[in-house]
C-alpha cells in the first residue's frame, strides 16, 4: 500500500506556517514594536498569541499528515480516526483565525501605529531620552523618518532620531511605512490561512474515505488468500 501523495504537501504546509510564525515573532520589526508597546496596547498580546497559535497549528497539520500516512500503510481505523480528528482540530482553529482577520482587519496595524505615535510624542515633548533611542531604532528598522504632524514642529525630532540619509532625502513617513508593511504581511498571512483551510478540508475528506474503505474491507490495496476449487 502507498501512503497519500498529499502527505508531503501537508508537512510542507505545516512547516510553512511554523516558519511564518517564527519570522513574525522573532523578526526585528515585530520584536521591536512588541518590546516598546505598553501593557494597555493590544499589540503585545496579538504578537504572542499569533506565534503560539501558528506553532500549534503547524504541529497539528504535520501530525495529521503522519497519522494519515501511517493509517494508509497499516490500514488502521484507529490511526485514520486520529488523523481525521487532527484535521478537524486544525479546521476548528483556522476558521476563527480567518474570521478574526476579516473582522479585525486593521486592529494589528492600528495597535502598531499607536506604539509609534506614543514614542514619537514622548520624544517630541522631550520627556524621556530612553524613548529617543527607541524611536531611533524604529526609524532604522523600518527605514523611515518621522511623520506628518499637525503641530508642524517635527524637524527637531527627525534630526535627532532619523538616520542622516533619511533626513537629507526626506524619508518615508513612518506611519505610512508601518501600514504598508503590515498590510502586505497580513495579506500573505490571510492567503496562507485560506490555503490551509482548503487543504484541511481535503484532508478530512481523504481520511473519511480511507476510514470507510477500511471499515467495509474495500482497501486501496487488495490482499487476501484465494482458494482454487
The DSSP secondary structure of 92-108, one letter per residue, reads HHHHHHHHHHHHTTTHH
pTM: 0.81
Confidence category of residue 76, pLDDT binned at 50, 70, 90: confident
Contact 53, 225 (CB under 8 A): no
Residue of 5 and 34 predicted with greater confidence:
34
Q: Is the pLDDT of residue 2 over 50?
A: no
pLDDT at position 228 is 47
**Lowest model confidence (mean pLDDT) among 6-10, 197-201, 215-219:** 215-219
What's the pLDDT at 145? 84
3 state SS of 1: coil
Percent of the chain predicted with pLDDT > 70? 84
Mean pLDDT, the chain, whole residue set: 83
Q: What is the pLDDT of residue 194?
A: 93
Residue 165: its pLDDT value, please? 66
Work out the average pLDDT over 12-17: 93
Residues 6+ apart with CB under 8 A from 72: 1, 2, 3, 4, 210, 220
Q: What is the pLDDT of residue 128?
A: 63
pLDDT of residue 61: 93
Phi and psi of 218, rounded to 5°?
A: -105, 60
Please answer whether residues 67 and 88 qualify as being in contact, where contact means their C-beta atoms are separated by less than 8 angstroms: no
Residue 220 has pLDDT above 50, yes or no: no
Report the candidate in 203, 194, 180 with the shortest Cα–Cα distance to residue 16: 194
Ranges 31-35, 99-103, 151-155: which has the least confidence: 151-155
Name the residue ranges covered by the structural domains of the chain: 3-227
Mean pLDDT of 177-206: 92
Predicted local confidence at residue 5, as pLDDT: 65
Measure the CA–CA gap between 10 and 190, rounded to whole angstroms. 18
Amino acid at each position: 500500500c502507498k501512503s497519500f501523495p498529499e502527505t508531503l504537501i501537508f508537512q510542507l504546509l505545516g512547516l510553512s506556517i511554523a516558519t511564518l510564525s517564527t519570522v513574525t515573532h522573532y523578526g526585528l520589526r515585530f520584536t521591536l514594536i512588541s518590546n516598546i508597546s505598553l501593557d494597555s496596547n493590544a499589540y503585545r498580546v496579538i504578537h504572542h498569541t499569533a506565534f503560539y497559535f501558528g506553532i500549534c497549528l503547524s504541529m497539528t497539520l504535520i501530525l495529521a499528515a503522519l497519522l494519515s500516512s501511517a493509517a494508509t500503510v497499516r490500514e488502521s481505523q484507529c490511526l485514520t480516526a486520529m488523523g481525521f480528528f487532527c484535521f478537524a482540530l486544525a479546521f476548528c482553529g483556522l476558521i476563527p483565525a480567518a474570521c478574526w482577520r476579516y473582522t479585525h482587519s486593521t486592529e494589528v496595524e492600528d495597535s502598531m501605529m499607536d506604539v509609534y505615535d506614543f514614542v514619537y510624542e514622548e520624544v517630541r515633548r522631550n520627556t524621556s531620552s530612553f524613548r529617543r533611542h527607541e524611536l531611533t531604532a524604529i526609524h532604522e528598522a523600518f527605514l523611515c523618518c518621522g511623520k506628518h504632524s499637525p503641530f508642524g514642529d517635527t524637524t527637531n525630532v527627525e534630526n535627532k532620531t532619523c538616520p542622516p540619509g533619511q533626513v537629507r532625502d526626506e524619508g518615508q513617513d513612518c506611519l505610512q511605512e508601518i501600514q504598508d508593511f503590515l498590510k502586505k504581511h497580513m495579506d500573505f498571512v490571510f492567503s496562507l490561512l485560506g490555503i490551509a483551510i482548503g487543504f484541511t478540508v481535503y484532508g478530512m475528506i481523504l481520511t473519511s474515505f480511507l476510514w470507510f474503505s477500511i471499515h467495509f474491507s474495500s482497501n486501496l490495496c487488495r490482499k487476501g488468500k484465494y482458494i482454487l476449487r
